[in-house]
Amino acid sequence: MTFRPFPDVTIVEVGPRDGLQNEKRIVPTEEKLALIELLKGARLPRLEITAFVSPKWVPQMADHEEILRRTPAADGLIRSVLVPNERGALAAIAIGVEELAIFTSASETFAEKNINCSIAESLERFEPVAALAREHGIRLRGYVSCTVECPYEGPIRPQAATGVANALADLGCVEISLADTIGRATPESVDAMLSAVKASLTAEKLACHFHDTFGHALDNVDVALGHGIRVFDSAISGLGGCPYAPGAAGNLSTLPLVKHLEEKGFSTGIDIERLLQAEEFAAGLRQGNTEIQAGDGRRVSG
């Protein structure tokens, strides 16, 4: 698989994990793998493919080991998996992975409801994960939820997002994704948050993760571009939302994001025609009316 080198903007496709984790229908493993293959075919260079979390809490990700095993390494592809603790990290590393992703929040209440601990406790929990990433030469990515607004606490001070982002950088995260978890961010609030975070961290170390719940996502992308951000998370067909964030349905959709960026003159290295195929397939996952390629070439319903 060959990717166009050095795009102006990098898309981190989170559909297979963040997009599917909250779907009511348990998406079969074969359908997840088919989606991943379509995304690879569209030349997306970074895929968040699964989460090594307890099936008790996120049953949609119960097949995480099989998904990782059956998504082989490829030149130019970074496979990322979300891990909540050292145990998850060890399991992912044993199979082989290019990136571990850890996650916390700028909101104490959201952290308690989402990961059952305080922000400080979450950072302490991630110390052994960071040590494992360093030991094995694996990228470590950090997520900060609720950087602008929390469903429980309301608006979040930019200084709170800054403090957590700095803590993740100190742990060794090579990239920190700043998330508008419930889609309430406006260009003004994104500008204030990024201005605060960039006082201590460079734009090259940051990514943005917007939800389009209220239709502001692409406007917020433009603000982030103005701040020098060149990495954005998105989910094919707008899949996803957080189960612990009421009203958060709707990650920024990959296809509109790519079109928006390229209309503004930024290259992404993504094959639009192949991305359209992935879009159509992903849209069918919710209804269970997908069609996938069998090993012998037959088309079978999913």
Q: State the catalytic residue, choosing from 146, 150, 173, 242.
A: 242
89: which 2 tokens?
Answer: 């990290």
∠ CA 110-112-115, nearest 5°, is 95
Q: How many angstroms separate the CA atoms of 267 and 71, rounded?
A: 26
242 tagged catalytic? yes
Nearest to residue 168, comparing CAs of 127, 135, 212? 127
261, 275 Cβ separation under 8 angstroms: no
DSSP state letters, 110-147: HHHHHHSS-HHHHHHHHHHHHHHHHHHT-EEEEEEE-S
108: which 2 tokens?
Answer: 């104490």
Give catalytic residue positions.
Answer: 242
